[in-house]
């Protein structure tokens, strides 16, 4: 039992009272460790495909809106189908749901590689393939997020969430640079083919993982969806987190959605330099990840979001004005720190306030709101950039984040420490 003074030091706005422990302690669990490693390789393949698809679109069209839609096409299905996918994750074995999604994405990525290699690809076929990958992601994501509770003990959950974010960002730091290199040395179709192979490792781990049967009350999909929606939108703590997740998603989307156009048209760069900036983004995310929780203990979620918003203003201002890739590298690094600090903190705050029996639906709603915000943001900022230029779009995106967070601070305050925390899982 900790003393009141020590306990107050580890209480935070997003987490229940937890003992300080090793941030890498979830690796003690073989299942978590195996899935984490497989996810690193799978995410690395996804990042290579993302870079290749975005760069391919710049070769197929000069429209900034179509270029930005490559990013939006992966995330839009999560907005449209995510809640239904959450009900599926709660109604069925989550491991089997993830396997089905991985097999589907394997088939789509293989088809995309063949179409590109045979020179049969066009902007609309490319968008169709990335949309299909987005559908697989929409199905996979709620089941994967909810399955973390089956992999580690409760006290490890915040660290497990941070490590999963780190896995994604390790892939983000290596995958884009590797993808850019492969495109320059060989062919864009190679990046698509390697992504198809990357799904195999995760499929093998899921086949190896034998979970204990999870007691689930099966309901028809639409009534099950309604239960999750009612809970999320009737809970004031959950609702305030969701609002911020949407705003953060919309604003941050400007970086990734416009980056291919920024590199090609503003910085006069190539695919290798594009991969370099995405790699700097990922490295910023990795380096920042271990410091997010200690910082959140000191300044709370409100402080994390305020600091992220101010840093984003600086980052977007720099990117809007520079005309050299090397000058843009520090800004890309800063964008990565903003990404991991804001989204990891919101994810942790949300998961700890969602009941286990409807966790898949709750996480799908969170994913739909945040990633749906990114899809809407990608389309919006691409349209704004076509209308009034890239710098203007970046300035508006940063102003939106700052203004919205200030407004919500007064109209929809975040929950108090411990408010809404679920105790019974």
| HEC per residue, the chain | CCCHHHHHHHCCCCCCCCCCCCCCHHHHCHHHHHHHHHHHHHHHHHHHHHHHHHHHHHHHCCCHHHHHHHHHHHHHHHHHHHHHHHHHHHHCCHHHHHHHHHHHHHHHHHHHHHHHHCCCCCHHHHHHHHHHHHHHHHHHHHHHHHHHHHHCCHHHHHHHHHHHHHHHHHHHHHHHHHHHHHHHHCCHHHHHHHHHHHHHHHHHHHHHCCCCCCCCCCCCHHHHHHHHHHHHHHCHHHHHHHHHHHHHHHHHHHHHHHHHHHHHHHCCCCHHHHHHHHHHHHHHHHHHHHHHHHHHHHHHHHHHHHHHHHHHHHHHHHHHHCCCHHHHHHHHHHHHHHHHHHHHHHHHHHHCCCCHHHHHHHHHHHHHHHHHHHHHHHHHHHHHHHHHCHHHHHHHHHHHHHHHHHHHHHHCCCCCCCCCCCCCC
pLDDT at 290: 76
Query: How many whole angstroms separate alpha carbon 381 and alpha carbon 71?
Result: 11
pLDDT at 5: 36
User: Which residue in 79, 165, 98 sits closest to 136, CA to CA?
Assistant: 98
Confidence grade of residue 247 (pLDDT, cut at 50, 70, 90)? very high
Look at residue 395 and tell me whether its pLDDT is greater than 90.
yes
Residues in the chain: 425
pLDDT at 60: 83
Confidence grade of residue 16 (pLDDT, cut at 50, 70, 90)? very low
Query: How many whole angstroms separate alpha carbon 314 and alpha carbon 255?
Result: 13
- Average pLDDT on 247-261 reads 88
User: Which residue in 124, 41, 27, 15 sits closest to 416, CA to CA?
Assistant: 15
Q: How many C-beta atoms surround the C-beta of residue 31 within 10 A?
A: 16
pLDDT at 384: 92
Q: Residue 372 CA to chain centroid, in angstroms?
A: 11
When mean pLDDT is compared across 235-239, 332-336, 370-374, the lowest value belongs to 370-374
pLDDT at 108: 92
| HEC per residue, 121-133 | CCHHHHHHHHHHH
Confidence grade of residue 213 (pLDDT, cut at 50, 70, 90)? low
Look at residue 397 and tell me whether its pLDDT is greater than 90.
yes
pLDDT at 246: 93
User: Which residue in 360, 353, 366 sits closest to 425, CA to CA?
Assistant: 353
Question: Which two tokens mark 137?
Answer: 């992601």
pLDDT tens sequence across 23-70: 678 888 888 888 888 888 888 888 888 878 888 888 888 777 787 778
- Average pLDDT on 122-140 reads 88
Alpha-carbon Rg of the chain, whole angstroms? 20
Q: Is the backbone of residue 355 left (phi > 0), alpha (psi -120 to 50) or beta?
A: beta
Residue whose pair of structure tokens reads 């679920």 in the numeric block: 422
Question: Which two tokens mark 54?
Answer: 């975005």
pLDDT at 3: 37
416: burial class by Cβ within 10 Å (0-12, 13-18, 19+)?
A: exposed
Confidence grade of residue 420 (pLDDT, cut at 50, 70, 90)? low
pLDDT at 398: 92
Query: How many whole angstroms separate alpha carbon 370 and alpha carbon 360?
Result: 15
User: Which residue in 40, 57, 44 sits closest to 257, CA to CA?
Assistant: 57
The torsion angles phi and psi of 424, rounded to 5 degrees, stand at: -110, 45
pLDDT at 19: 39
pLDDT tens sequence across 257-311: 888 888 888 888 777 787 788 778 878 877 887 788 788 778 888 889 999 999 9
pLDDT tens sequence across 101-119: 999 999 999 999 999 898 8
Average pLDDT of the chain is: 81
Distances (CA, A) of 332 to 48, 290, 315, 335: 18, 19, 7, 5
The packing angle between helices 30-60 and 236-261, to 10°, is: 50
Percentage of the chain surpassing pLDDT 90? 16
The residue with greater pLDDT, 239 or 160, is 239
- Average pLDDT on 342-362 reads 82
Query: How many whole angstroms separate alpha carbon 20 and alpha carbon 197?
Result: 39
Look at residue 314 and tell me whether its pLDDT is greater than 80.
yes
Q: Is the backbone of residue 417 left (phi > 0), alpha (psi -120 to 50) or beta?
A: beta
Q: Is the backbone of residue 163 left (phi > 0), alpha (psi -120 to 50) or beta?
A: alpha
Look at residue 394 and tell me whether its pLDDT is greater than 90.
yes
């Amino acid at each position: 039992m900790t003393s009141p003074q020590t306990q107050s030091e580890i209480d935070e706005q997003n987490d229940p009272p937890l003992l300080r422990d090793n941030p890498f302690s979830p690796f003690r669990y073989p299942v978590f460790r195996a899935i984490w490693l497989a996810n690193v390789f799978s995410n690395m393949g996804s990042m290579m495909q993302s870079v290749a698809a975005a760069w391919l679109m710049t070769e197929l069209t000069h429209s900034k809106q179509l270029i930005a839609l490559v990013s939006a096409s992966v995330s839009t299905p999560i907005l449209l189908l995510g809640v239904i996918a959450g009900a599926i994750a709660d109604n069925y074995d989550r491991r089997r749901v993830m396997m089905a999604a991985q097999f589907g994405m394997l088939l789509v990525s293989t088809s995309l590689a063949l179409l590109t290699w045979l020179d049969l690809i066009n902007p609309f076929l490319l968008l169709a393939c990335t949309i299909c990958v987005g559908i697989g992601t929409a199905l996979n994501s709620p089941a994967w997020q909810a399955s973390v509770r089956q992999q580690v003990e409760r006290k490890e959950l915040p660290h497990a969430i941070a490590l999963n974010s780190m896995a994604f960002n390790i892939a983000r730091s290596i995958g884009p640079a590797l993808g850019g290199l492969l495109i320059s040395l060989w062919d864009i179709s190679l990046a698509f083919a390697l992504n198809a192979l990357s799904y195999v490792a995760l499929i093998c781990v899921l086949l190896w993982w034998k979970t204990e049967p999870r007691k689930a009350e099966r309901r028809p999909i639409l009534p099950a969806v309604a239960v999750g929606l009612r809970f999320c939108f009737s809970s004031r703590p959950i609702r305030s987190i969701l609002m911020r997740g949407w705003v953060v998603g919309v604003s941050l989307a400007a970086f990734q959605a416009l980056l291919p156009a920024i590199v090609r048209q503003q910085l006069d760069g190539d695919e290798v330099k594009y991969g370099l900036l995405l790699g700097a983004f990922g490295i910023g995310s990795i380096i920042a990840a271990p410091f997010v929780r200690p910082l959140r203990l000191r300044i709370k979620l409100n402080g994390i979001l305020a600091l992220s918003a101010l840093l984003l203003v600086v980052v977007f201002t720099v990117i809007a004005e520079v005309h050299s890739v090397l000058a843009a590298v520090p800004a890309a690094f800063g964008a990565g720190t903003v990404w991991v600090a804001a989204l990891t903190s919101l994810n942790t705050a949300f998961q700890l306030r969602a009941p286990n029996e409807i966790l898949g639906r709750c996480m799908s709603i969170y994913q739909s709101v945040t990633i749906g915000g990114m899809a809407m943001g990608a389309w919006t900022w691409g349209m704004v950039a076509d209308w009034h230029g890239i710098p203007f779009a970046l300035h508006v995106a940063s102003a939106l984040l700052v203004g919205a967070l200030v407004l919500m601070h007064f109209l929809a305050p975040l929950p108090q420490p411990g408010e809404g925390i679920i105790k019974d899982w």
